[in-house]
Structure formats: structure tokens, C-alpha cells
Structure 1
Amino acid sequence: MSELRTKAAHTEAIRQDRRVAVVVNTRSRRGRRHYFEVIDQIHALGFEPMAELSVSNPKRLRSLLDQALETRPDLLIVGGGDGTLSSAVRHVAHRDVALGVLPLGTTNNFARSLGLPLDLAGAIGVFATGKVADIDLGMAGDRPFANLASFGVSVEVAGTVKPWLKRILGRPAYPLTALRVLPGHRPFRAYITVDGKRHELFTHQLNIANGRFHGGWQLAKDVSIDNGMLVAYQLGSGKKLRLLGETLVRATTGRWRSLAGGPFVMGREMLLETDPPMPADVDGEVRLLTPIRLRVVPNGVRVMVPDDFDDR
């Protein structure tokens, strides 16, 4: 872990020295279309990036992030969807460099959790007018994550949803794909142990969140990405129609209960077991298999956020 400046000193360095590097995933929903616009707008703010890199092959993302960090920027600007940004989070975690987020994906859950404008001009403007903040880092086993670990039907949806459908429809591509996947999906039992208490669920879908958003919609009115807690919750139950109903209500009305009144389990550390063992979708990448121990690392990642962001 590198020695970190104070957030105020880091913010001042970005505004004065303007040492930035830029990495844009041009395979993301809007990355290819807006790449040159992004670069032009960053230059227009007075930044002269030490690296301007486009990612056309996802397999090269990690090496290009490393290449950008070798220029020793104060601000690493990354454009792409949640998977791209999750990889960037892993690169900057515990380092004296802030992550600047360009929301170029389909759902942009991470950008929404940071309170960023979703239009390019607004998001880029934050690099000049915003501030440096420290947010929580989730850990699933030894794998860091920024936003969400999910289990159940969403894992199958993530592997099934067509890229062209996401490009055309955006967020609705996921619930529409779920309609096709759900009839053949089998419910499972999940056991979540928090602070010595074991909770049992029977469901089609379980999420464990560090951030505030899933599928582009807010999880609960008072979820935060910097409160030092993970939040576990199920959608629906073991009944397919109930899962479908709850998903549609949230997707169309945005109605979410408060953490105090909803079916949420909260804690700094959780042990998740499932019957049968199940794969996990961790910020868009299906890598791990239950049982999994999840925990939160408070203030594990440094990011650039709007000046009115409530930095605890």
C-alpha cells in the first residue's frame, strides 16, 4: 500500500498539476462512438494527458491500465462499463492515484453510486470541479469488487444477454433477457452468516452489494458506497412469478424501501453458502464459486466525485 496524500492535497494536485492518463474501452456501449469526443473535451478543460489509450481488445485492458499508471498520474480517467471500471478499481486500490469515471456502459452502476452525471460533458467536468474521496472496496474471497456480487438468475442473464440488444435498448435489455431465462431457472437455498447469525433464504436471485445501484436502479434509499457495510438481499423468493413481479416493479417505478424496512442483511463480513454450489457474478465477471467469504475494506479506493458528494 502506497503512502496516501490527504484528500484535499490530492484534489489540489489534480487541479494545479493536471497529471492525468486516459484509458477508454472502445468496445463498451458508447466508448467507440465517443472516444475522440472524450479526448477533445478533456483537452478543452486544460488537461494534457500523459497517456491516451483505447482498448479495442478486452484482453489488453489490464496491460493498458498498467501502462497508463506507469506515467504516475494523479488522476487515472477510465471510460467504459461496470466491468471495465471494476478492473480499474482493482488497479488503483490502496494507491495514491484517484480514479476518474467516464460512464460509457449500459447500466453505469458504479458511476451512479458516485453521484456522477451520466452525460459525458457533465462527467468530464467533474475532473476540473470535483474533489477526491475515499470509498469502500468490496472483497469476494481475494477478488476486489466495486459494486456487486450476484448469484442466481442474473449470472445466467449476464452470460446470455446479447451485446447488440444492450447497444439498442440499454438497461431494459437485462429484464427482457431475464424473461427468457427465468422459466428454466431453478431456485436455490442460500445461507448467509453475519456476526455469528445464520440467515436462510430460498430464492432465484441473491445480491450482495457494496454500491448503491444494480441494473441502473437504486437498491434502497439509504444504501451507500462509503458506509463500511455490505448489503445482502434477495429478489422475490423461490417463486418465479414473485421474482418477475418485484423486478418489474423496481424497473418501472424505482420504488425501493429503506434498509430499516426491507429484507436486507447488513454486515462488514459475510460467509455465503449455497445449495447447490453456485458461480458468482462479481462486477460482471463470472469467476468464483460458493462458498465465498465477502468483506468490505473501508476507504479502499480513491475516486474523483462531484463536490457535493457526501464523503464520510
Structure 2
Amino acid sequence: MENILVFVNPRARQGNQLDSEIKNWLKDQGYNVLNSSFDPKHDKIVDIIKKHRDQKPIVLVGGGDGSVNEALPALVQHQLPLLLIPLGTANNLARSMEIPTDYKKALELINQKNIKNIDVGVANDIHFVNVIGLGLSTQVNRLVRSEWKRWLGVFAFVFMALKVVWRMNPLRVQIECDGKRHRAYSWQISVCNGRNYGNGLVIHEDATLDDNTLHALSTEVEKWWQGFALIPSLLTGKFRKDHPVTVLSGQSMTISTTRPMKVDVDGDIKTKTPVKLSVLSKALRIFAP
């Protein structure tokens, strides 16, 4: 009988409804659920994983990219496989891995036994699996309430972005990437470990979760509303030379600003500039189709 730890975020969309259903399904399939409950207000995922690491459990995370981020340090350190049940708003890791959003189909991956090794990014010693950002995204993530995300989904972010950008000014930034230096005024800088970020945006047409490369995109339009013209390219990751963006790729980066600025990591604000970035090659094991 295989052991499994179950962490379903009750604040994620559908989280409260599905916790017992997921556990019952696992028990019916013959898995031994090691933890009877999980309350993110009082329980830290990394501590629970550390407590049970010697039992070599599979770690199920039901939630969004932020929920996965909470488990990342322990998953990487103890090399335990992740079973992701996408219950969040954007679910970019699931999108990049083509993990089904239907929770029953996602659960079936555990029986298929197909585990892939993917890269993990590091920002100021903080692990991330998808993206770090500063600029517009930081302001939006700081202000959007969890209940808005639950009931409005991605529209909560769109509404807040339109509200915030009116009173925002571009940031003066310096990006060093594998020895090269770039200075600009930017509305938004996103650095991805994988392919997808935001609500299904593509950072680079060739980006993957196992290319041992970080991909950065700096949006450098003169007026914020000019960014709407970039939407087709943001959806495909294909940019022309005349587009007001800078695209950088490398294994290490440093982003500096004239004064310390907050940085969001997989959707939650966790550090500030200057931020040093690197990539851990194939550091996370995850069930995938």
C-alpha cells in the first residue's frame, strides 16, 4: 500500500467540496492517506512533508500555482513526487504539463505512474515553478482578495489591473542576464521557469519546463494602453523586433530597481528587488500525462 499526503486548499475554487471526495477516491484505490486533515491557517505543508518524509509518500496538492509553491521546498529537498489537482484560478503549471482540469482525470494520473522531472526556479533563495513578476502584477496580486479569486476567477485580476494601471508609472529597471546588461523603463517584468504565466499567456514560443532556462519579458510601451496591441503576441510568445518589449533567456539573472520593489513569486508577494534568479535543472518530480 502506497502512502500519500493530501493538501487540498480550502480557499481554492471547489476546494472545500472536493477534499473528502479526493480522499475517498484514494482510499478506494488502495492508497494510505497519512494526514487526516489540512488547515493552511495553522498547518505548514513543508513541516508535514518533513514529518512523513521517511515514509516516502506521494504528495497531492489540490489548488493553484500558489499552493504548489508552498510545497516546493520540501518536494525538491526530499525528492517526493507531486500529484497536482488543478483547483486554482490560472493553473499555469497544469496548463504547461497538460494536466486535466477535471479532478477525476487528474487523479487517474497516479495510477498511470508516469513521472516527469521538471526544472524549478529560485528567486532570492525562494523556489518557484512558474513565474516571478514585478510591476503591474505585483500591484494586482497585492490587492486582489482571495474571495474575489474564488468567485470571479481571472476576471478579478483583469478588473484590478485596469483599476491599478491608471495611477501607475513604469519602473526604472536593470536586468543582468548571463553577463549581459539591459536598462529600461518597464511596466511589467515577468520571468518564467516554464511556458505559461498570467491567464495562459506564453513567455516564449520555445520555452519548456525542462529546458534549464529562465525566460524574461519586459514590457516597455510608452503608454500603458499601448500594451493592448501586444495581446496576440503575449498569447503565443512570438514577438517582432519592432515590438516595445525585451525578451531575455538564460540560466541566471539579476533584476535591480532604483529603490526596493516588491516581487511576486507564483502569485504571492514573497521578496523584493534586487532579486537574483537561477534555475535548478529537473529538480521536481511530477505526475504527468
TM-score, length of structure 2 as denominator length: 0.89
Give yes or no for the alignment of 1:165 onto 2:148.
Answer: yes
Q: Write out per-residue CA displacement over residues 101-147 of structure 1, whole angstroms, 9 at most, x where no aligned residue.
A: 11111111122222211110111111111412211111112111111
Give the whole-Å Cα distance in 1 for the aligned partners of 2:229 and 2:79.
45
Q: Write out per-residue CA displacement over residues 241-269 of structure 1, whole angstroms, 9 at most, x where no aligned residue.
A: 1234435x578xx3431799984200000
- The alignment partner of 2:149 has SS state of helix
Give the whole-Å Cα distance in 2 for the aligned partners of 1:236 and 1:122.
41
- Change in Cα spacing, 1:256 to 1:72, as seen in structure 2 (3 Å) is same
Match runs of 1:80-99 below 5 Å:
80-99=63-82
Aligned to 1:7: none
- The alignment partner of 1:181 has SS state of helix
Give the whole-Å Cα distance in 2 for the aligned partners of 1:115 and 1:259.
28
For residue 302 of structure 1, report the CA deviation from its aligned partner. 1.6
Q: Which stretch shows the higher mean deviation, 183-192 or 284-293? A: 284-293
Q: 1:240 aligns with which of 224, 227, 232?
A: 224
- Change in Cα spacing, 1:235 to 1:130, as seen in structure 2 (3 Å) is farther
Give yes or no for the alignment of 1:230 onto 2:214.
Answer: yes
For residue 183 of structure 1, report the CA deviation from its aligned partner. 0.3
Give yes or no for the alignment of 1:72 onto 2:55.
Answer: yes
Question: Counterpart amino acid of 2:285?
Answer: R
Give yes or no for the alignment of 1:107 onto 2:90.
Answer: yes
Is the 8 Å Cα contact of residues 11 and 146 (structure 2) preserved in structure 1? Answer: no
Aligned to 2:280: 297
Aligned to 2:238: 257
Give the whole-Å Cα distance in 2 for the aligned partners of 1:138 and 1:63.
18
Aligned to 1:156: 139
Gaps of 5+ in 1: 1-16, 307-312
- Change in Cα spacing, 1:223 to 1:259, as seen in structure 2 (3 Å) is farther
Aligned to 1:184: 167
Q: CA RMSD in A?
A: 2.4
Match runs of 1:128-167 below 5 Å:
128-167=111-150
Question: Counterpart amino acid of 2:200?
Answer: W
Is the 8 Å Cα contact of residues 192 and 216 (structure 2) preserved in structure 1? Answer: yes
- The alignment partner of 1:55 has SS state of coil
Q: Which stretch shows the higher mean deviation, 259-268 or 82-91? A: 259-268
Q: Which stretch shows the higher mean deviation, 36-45 or 126-135? A: 36-45
Is the 8 Å Cα contact of residues 189 and 276 (structure 1) preserved in structure 2? Answer: no
Question: Percent identity over the alignment?
Answer: 28
Is the 8 Å Cα contact of residues 11 and 150 (structure 2) preserved in structure 1? Answer: no
Question: Counterpart amino acid of 1:38?
Answer: I
For residue 80 of structure 1, report the CA deviation from its aligned partner. 1.5
Aligned to 1:212: 195
Is the 8 Å Cα contact of residues 203 and 239 (structure 1) preserved in structure 2? Answer: no
Q: Write out per-residue CA displacement over residues 181-225 of structure 1, whole angstroms, 9 at most, x where no aligned residue.
A: 110111012211122210123211100110221123141332111
Is the 8 Å Cα contact of residues 113 and 213 (structure 1) preserved in structure 2? Answer: yes
Is the 8 Å Cα contact of residues 7 and 45 (structure 2) preserved in structure 1? Answer: no
Gaps of 5+ in 2: none
Give the whole-Å Cα distance in 1 for the aligned partners of 2:285 and 2:169.
40
- The alignment partner of 2:61 has SS state of strand
